[in-house]
């Protein structure tokens, strides 16, 4: 069989531009990693350009990895959304194991962020809104992506993002089908965007994808991740209390306070305190949430604005010191 086959597949060898595999000629190596290699290929006879994904040779005897690789094709064939990468079935059966997807030409969201270091809110919304819709489409299928990050998002046109990787998608019910489909003990995903509950407990839900998308939104606007840990890979946080939100307005004071409150809610370490639906998050990116504003202004100043609180304390102390010095000078 072809790319979705599970019958004794043969892994293709490493290829260079000009090499051919079946009816496809390699034009470019798009990505080369330890787990897989992605090529831009041309379909002979039609000149159609496609993206071909091939497993890493080191995983030839890894049944769990190969099962996961097959699952990617199955997942891609069951979701249909403009912001989700579409699979393409090979024209003929093949003994080789590979996957074919539509080829999308455009920069990654990471490159877009480098090129647009201080974007306006509307430009960010135009990218985030289709991604929200795509993640809701996965959610309706009982799927959680678990690795939403700028490198996994392409921008073939302004405001037209496409999520291009299904390697970490969790599907409800598949964990009970057999040992080969069970997840390992180490969470997958990028540490800058991974949801705390996934890192701490290895559990993920749609709210985990919401956290990751909110982290991307924050970084698009500020140029920095919302949470920064040193040596997280080797010394991961032990509890939710390790996450401390830094106000977006510390780096973007030109943005409205209500936007900062919306992102702070979406980026709550504990999932129960976040927006409970993608639609709520999207609504709060479009306009001020009166409930969040009321809650924020009811909190003590030290919670609402720690920097201003301590500035005020320092100001009072300076005034007291000056008054004491004046009194001493008059005695």
What b-and-e string marks burial along 260-283, b requiring 16 or more CB atoms within 10 Å of the CB?
bbbbbbbbbbebeebbeebebbbe
Mean pLDDT of the chain: 86
The pTM of this model reads 0.83
Of 97, 75, 85, 84, the closest CA to residue 174 belongs to: 75
What pLDDT score was predicted for residue 295? 82
Higher pLDDT, 328 or 138: 138
Span 230-258, average pLDDT = 88
For the ranges 32-36, 150-154, 157-161, 250-254, which has the lowest average pLDDT? 32-36
- How far is 276 from 169, CA to CA, in rounded Å? 20
- Percent of the chain scoring above 90 in pLDDT: 65
In this predicted structure, the answer to whether residue 176 has a pLDDT above a threshold of 70 is no
For Cα atoms 199, 235, 267, give the angle at the middle one, nearest 5 degrees: 40
Span 286-303, average pLDDT = 77
Evaluate whether 153 touches 131 at the Cβ level (below 8 Å).
yes
Evaluate whether 23 touches 30 at the Cβ level (below 8 Å).
no
CATH architecture of 109-298: Orthogonal Bundle (1.10)
Q: Which two tokens stand for residue 66?
A: 């190969």
pLDDT tens, residue by residue, 47-96: 899 999 999 888 888 888 888 898 998 999 999 999 999 998 876 778 89
- Per DSSP, the residues of 273-318 read GS-SSHHHHHHHHHS--HHHHHHHHHS-HHHH-HHHHHHHHHHHHH
The residue extents of the domains of the chain are: 20-102, 109-298, 303-331
Topology of domain 20-102, CATH: Phosphorylase Kinase; domain 1 (3.30.200)
């Amino acid at each position: 069989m072809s790319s979705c086959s599970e019958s004794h597949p043969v892994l293709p060898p490493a290829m260079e531009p000009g090499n051919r595999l079946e009816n496809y000629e390699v034009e470019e190596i798009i990505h080369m990693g330890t787990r897989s290699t992605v090529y831009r290929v041309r379909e002979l006879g039609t000149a159609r350009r496609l993206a071909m994904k091939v497993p890493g040779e080191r995983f030839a005897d890894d049944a769990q990895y190969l099962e996961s690789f097959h699952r990617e094709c199955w997942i891609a064939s069951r979701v249909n959304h403009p912001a989700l990468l579409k699979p393409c079935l090979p024209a003929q059966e093949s003994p080789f194991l590979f996957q074919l997807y539509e080829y999308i030409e455009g920069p990654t969201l990471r490159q877009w962020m480098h090129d647009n270091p201080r974007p306006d809110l509307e430009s960010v919304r135009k990218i985030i809104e289709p991604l929200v819709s795509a993640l809701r489409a996965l959610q309706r299928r009982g799927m959680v992506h678990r690795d939403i990050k700028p490198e996994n998002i392409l921008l073939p046109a302004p405001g037209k993002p496409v999520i291009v990787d299904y390697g970490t998608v969790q599907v409800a019910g598949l964990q009970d089908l057999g040992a080969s489909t069970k997840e390992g003990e180490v969470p997958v995903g990028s540490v800058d965007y991974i949801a705390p509950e996934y890192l701490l407990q290895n559990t993920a839900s749609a709210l985990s994808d919401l956290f990751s998308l909110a982290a991307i939104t924050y970084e698009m606007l500020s140029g920095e991740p919302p949470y920064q840990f040193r040596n997280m890979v080797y010394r991961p946080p032990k509890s939710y209390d390790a996450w401390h939100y830094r106000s977006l307005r510390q780096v973007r004071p030109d943005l409205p306070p209500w936007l900062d409150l919306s992102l702070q809610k979406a980026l709550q370490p504990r999932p129960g305190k976040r927006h409970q639906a993608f639609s709520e998050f999207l609504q709060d990116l479009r306009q001020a949430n009166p409930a969040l504003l009321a809650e924020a202004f009811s909190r003590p100043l030290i919670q609402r604005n720690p920097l201003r609180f301590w500035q005020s304390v320092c100001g009072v102390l300076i005034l007291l010191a000056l008054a004491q010095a004046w009194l001493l000078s008059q005695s």
